[in-house]
Amino acid sequence: MSNTGDPYLWLEEVTDDRALDWVRTRNAATTAELAGDEFDDIESRIREVLDTDARIPYARRRGEYLYNFWRDASHVRGLWRRTTMDEYRKDSPEWDVLLDLDVIAAAEGENWVWSGAQVLRPAQETALVTLSRGGADATVVREFDLTTRTFRDPADGGFRVPEAKTDIGYAGPDAVYIGTDFGEGSLTDSGYPRIAKRWQRGTPLSEAAVVYEGETGDISISAWHDRTPGFERDFVQRATDFYNAELYFLDGDALTLVETPTDATTSVNRQWLLVRTMTEWTVGEKTYPAGALLATDFDRFMAGEREITVLFEPDAHRSLHQFAWTENHLLVVTLVDVKTELRVLTPSSDAWSDQPLTGLPELTSIEIVGTDSEENGDEYFLSSSGYLTPATLLFGTVGGEVEALKQAPAFFDTDGLTVTQHFATSDDGTAIPYFVVSQENSTPGPTLMYGYGGFEISLTPSYSGATGLAWLERGGTYVVANIRGGGEYGPEWHTQVLRAGRHRVHEDFAAVARDLVARGITTAEQLGAQGGSNGGLLMGIMATKYPELFGALVCQVPLLDMRRYHLLLAGASWVAEYGDPDDPNEWEFIAKYSPYQNIVGPEERRYPPILITTSTRDDRVHPGHARKMAARLEEVGQDVRYFENIEGGHGGAADNAQLAFKSALAFQFLRQKLG
């Protein structure tokens, strides 16, 4: 089924000279067409937003230190740094720079992109630092000495892992749990670790002890250590597909299955086992609904008891969005018609209490951005923002006042702008919410519509300086569609569009497009749409199935060839979302929407102008999707432009300059095509 006789298969050779020559030719043509004074102005202003020192330096609290990674105009690749809470409260904290990535990259002749760090506690003297070449998902791992500010030499017992899609974490001061490319047969079909091992400091990686081996058809295997004092435990997870995983308690060499549903989100904190259900779960005579949050005592549950407390139960308008532990409380963020509420749940010896967290800003979305239940009690950090409201970093302790700790600047003029919420009716009668950011009493005009629709990712209101200055401030209207496939109304908002139900995602987005025209917000000729990754697939479908609804489309780091997606890079891990193209029954419904297979010429159906962008270094969604789609559209005479960043990974950009350029291309293209 997958051997299609595709004439553009050669474009899947990522770094082949012929393919890259094809890329460079189209990059030059697209840049020449869109560049100019207006483009330069948009690009420079977006770059100012990305580089400004006035941004909030979001940090992760680890004991006495707050760690932050920072990029600006002077530090293109970035600084990893830390400070104390007393310093962090200041308008201009004094930061202790741990690692300057620009210096490391220059010394080693590598285009290193930061991928994160794990600090070993409680001493906080060493850390596992992950770096990627050009922004790829594959990383190298090096142990870093925070005292000497140098990478530890493996000859002196430092951990170091060559480039791979590695899963690693400290299992104690002198050991790590690791899953990586150990050689032939050690990866799953999706390219992730199939084997988890325990690696002791000072020994070769080849001698690491196997903890668990999965199957090649699994998605990934991982192991980790919970070092919470008094509750030290080890766990192994076997992800059998994107939405199902088995969790095991590891006691010495003994593995015991945690008997919760494989499609649930299961977590353990101190004595508590939490289960967030994806589908209904029947325990004894009690059935718990999809989207519920449940709690039980971990040790008693493992001993066979099934006394379960319902902490949250969804309804038609309310869903669970986020939760995080402090030392003594559970913070829970819920969505009510895509608007956030935050509550504090507190366990006691005989019950759980449930209280709202008061003192929060009104008419904004709230996200939990940090807690540290190990060493900082009941402190929490929240981020509050809205489409027209720059982010505020909030800090507090449960039971105390909420403090506005940091405030981001405004990057665009909001005078006269308003935010409204509407509901469109999809083909099956489902009400689909969407937000509109526009001038009050505006007449139909250029409108940019954004959507994603997959993997239970919710789109909540948030501030974007780039969108504001490049689109809203110049008179455009901005729309975010909360279509099915996301998690805005709980897991069923997502599960009903899996596999054969995928058409509902497309129908929802099209319904919002029609509703915008019916309400007089825009016209089809003035309506543009944008999406990336799974949202890029959505844009490809809009082009080939609903071209009459749009005046222009921006399709970024997309999936587009759904006949071969499962054979390319991490594609096999998404079969649970889209279906298996090698199964004739499933290919039957995938074939109806796969953009690459449904391209026709303008004499049959004219598509709106489309800009397709991707990254050569994207090792999650293969750049061949975008390349082949553009080549085929060119061949049949449709209106297409193409740009591929030679670096950048799945985010499409490796630094702020690349991100500003890529963003400016999209906005300039839309302005040219929509007026």
Please, what is the Cα angle at 614 between 55 and 465, to 5 degrees?
25
For the CA atoms of 450, 454, 457, 458, the dihedral, rounded to the nearest 10 degrees, stands at 50
Choosing from 426, 533, 573, 594, the catalytic residue is 533
* β-bridge mates for residue 609, sequence order: none
Report d(CA 417, CA 431) in Å as an integer. 25
Give the tokens for residue 427.
């083909």
CB count within 10 Å of CB 91 equals: 5
What Å distances lie between residue 283 and 22, 242, 256, 280, 304, CA to CA? 58, 24, 19, 10, 12
Helices (DSSP H) in 294-431: which residue ranges?
298-302
Structure-token pair, residue 527:
């309506």
- By C-alpha distance, which of 162, 283, 168 is closest to 220? 168
Residue whose entry in the numeric block shows the structure tokens 């709690």: 295
329 is catalytic: no
- Judged on CB neighbours under 10 Å (0-12, 13-18, 19+), 419 is middle
Q: For residue 84, give the 3-state DSSP assignment.
A: strand
| 650 is a catalytic site residue | yes
* Residue from 321, 615, 650, 663 carrying the catalytic annotation: 650
Q: Could you give the CA distance from residue 293 to residue 221 in angstroms, rounded to a whole number? A: 25
Contacts of 644 (CB under 8 A, 6+ apart): 23, 26, 27, 613, 614, 615, 616, 623, 626, 627
Beta-carbon contacts of residue 429 (< 8 Å; ≥ 6 apart): none
State the virtual CA torsion across 111, 117, 123, 126 in degrees, nearest 10: -30
Rounded distance, CA 234 to CA 228, Å? 11
Distance CA 560, CA 297 (A): 46
* Residue 19 phi, psi dihedral angles, 5° rounding: -65, -45
Residue 313's CB is within 10 A of a number of other CB atoms, namely 14
Angle among Cα 518, 535, 276 to the nearest 5 degrees reads 105
Work out the burial of residue 603: count CB atoms within 10 Å of its CB; fewer than 13 is exposed, 13-18 middle, 19 or more buried: exposed
* E-state strands within 189-285: 195-200, 209-213, 220-226, 233-241, 244-251, 254-257, 265-269, 272-276, 281-283
d(CA 397, CA 577): 39
Q: Catalytic residue positions?
A: 533, 650
